[in-house]
Amino acid sequence: MTNKATYDYDAVVVGSGPNGLAAAIVLQREGLSVLLLEGKETIGGGLRTAELTLPGFKHDMCSAIHPLAVGSPFFQTLPLEQFGLKYIYPEVNAAHPFDGGTAAILTNSLQETAALLGVDKDRYLKLLGPVVASWPGLAADVLGPLRFPKHPLDLASFGLKGLQSATRLGNTFSTPEARGLFAGMAAHAIQPLSNLATAAVALVLMANGHLKGWPLPEGGSQQIADSLAAYFVSLGGKIETGTYITGIKQLPSSRALLFDVTPKQLLQIAGERFSSIYTRQLQRYRFGMGVFKIDWALDGLIPFTAEGCRKAGTVHLGGTLEEIAASELQTSKGAHPDRPFVLLAQPSVFDHTRAPEGKHTAWAYCHVPNGSTRDMTAAIEDQVERFAPGFKERILAKHSFNTMQMEAYNPNYIGGDINGGVIDITQLFTRPALRLSPYRTSAKGLYICSSSTPPGGGVHGMCGYHAAKQALKDVFR
């Protein structure tokens, strides 16, 4: 039972990214009184859509394609379609072009994707088949904190593959096409592909592609945030925007506080409440590479040479495994490669609400050293032009974010790190600190629910879900 005379709210959640929204929903569904605070005037964190270039051209500010959202064990329990969310599924989930005009593609069909890899068909089926088969049961184990798994044998099998480096597992394929496709998937880890556990990122993304697809929300990624918020409010929750929290004394009284922020911000807001040991752990938390992002308003479709790229919602531009691995390694050491690995999304090919008739939008980003302010526009556009000759002629307008502009847009992107901290083997399950529960802080009733906790970055809400479950166990039950 709560003491309504003592507290303004049962719980207050700071930050309305997907994890903050997820935490607020979990708590509100238990009949608690929950306030969600957002510093910006618009909710969503990385889930925002705006006209960045020209009127009528809708651009996703950060995330655009959402395999983990549609595959999230928590989001799947929510009636978000009743609140306006509609996913669109490209014919090809992702494509990976090569010099010479060919491309490897990831489709919904495991068999089709494998068959298109030629002599690597059987190897692909042997590698991905068991992951696809076990993922519906494994998802909750993988997308959560370190604990005794519900499916220990399946998790052990996944771990034998996923804990390897992407370069090692990728090089078990025979063809450049299969190796390149795998490397492009693993590069979403935003760290050197030689690091342990980078293979897991590729396996999770590819398995989700075969099970659920890589969809985009009609109207823009803002629609995911808006539908989550509408559902939260329908349960009785309250949202306040334009309320930027810099100190814990700004907050109304509550029994539990949950912060969808990074360790750096958490120390600034509530550091006075923490033990010296916990404070030192947060101070040692490491952030990873940043991103440089461009949005384009285009006069036509991107003229990719490979047909598969023209049908794909996501395109990975980086060539061979060796080229991608070299690029990511150089970036991790503070360099800016001339040919960076580029992730590109082209939502308007499938969603006609994104641009005026006959026109298109696209965005792309490459990884750069944390805090870099170098303009990577030319390098990114050269990579697109490499696989789509004539692309530059179709640019009507463009807008770019360097790492510090990304951080100004969303304070959770420290130095442009969109994952809330590097997700390497040393911070995989101990993010942000080594504790029995990574979501508990050392202060009673204070929790962290951002992507700086397991399972890390991505639009899945699982960090917020697990943090809220921990708060329910500790404070309300």
Q: Please state whether beta strands 342-345 and 360-368 pair in parallel, antiparallel, or not at all (unpaired).
A: antiparallel
- The answer on pLDDT for 196 being more than 50 is yes
SS3 content of the chain, % helix, strand, coil (to 5): 40, 15, 45
Which residues have CB under 8 Å from 72's CB, separation 6+?
Answer: 143, 459, 460, 461, 462
Structure tokens at 109: 């069909």
- The answer on pLDDT for 15 being more than 70 is yes
Q: pLDDT class for 394, splitting at 50, 70, 90?
A: very high
- The answer on pLDDT for 1 being more than 70 is no
Q: CA-CA distance, 184 to 79, in Å (whole number)?
A: 33
pLDDT of residue 477: 80
Across the range 311-321, mean pLDDT stands at: 98
pLDDT of residue 147: 87
For 88-104, the pLDDT digits (tens) are 999 999 999 999 999 99
pLDDT of residue 2: 45
Which residues have CB under 8 Å from 378's CB, separation 6+?
Answer: none
The residues that bridge with 290 in the sheet, in sequence order, are 368
The residue written with tokens 């993988």 in the block is 142
Backbone angles phi, psi at 463, to 5 degrees: -65, -45
To the nearest 10°, report the CA torsion of 341, 452, 275, 371: 30
- The answer on pLDDT for 111 being more than 90 is yes
Reported pTM: 0.96
- The answer on pLDDT for 375 being more than 90 is yes
For 323-359, the pLDDT digits (tens) are 999 999 999 999 999 999 999 999 999 999 999 999 9
For 260-303, the pLDDT digits (tens) are 999 999 999 999 999 999 999 999 999 999 999 999 999 999 99
Domains defined along the chain, listed by start: 9-41+241-285+420-476 (3.50.50.60), 87-215+289-409 (3.90.660)
State whether the Cα torsion 260-265-270-274 is positive or negative: positive
- The answer on pLDDT for 5 being more than 90 is no
Q: pLDDT class for 406, splitting at 50, 70, 90?
A: very high
pLDDT of residue 428: 86
pLDDT of residue 39: 96
Across the range 199-209, mean pLDDT stands at: 98
Please, what is the average pLDDT of the chain? 96
> By the 8 A CB rule, do 317 and 344 touch?
yes
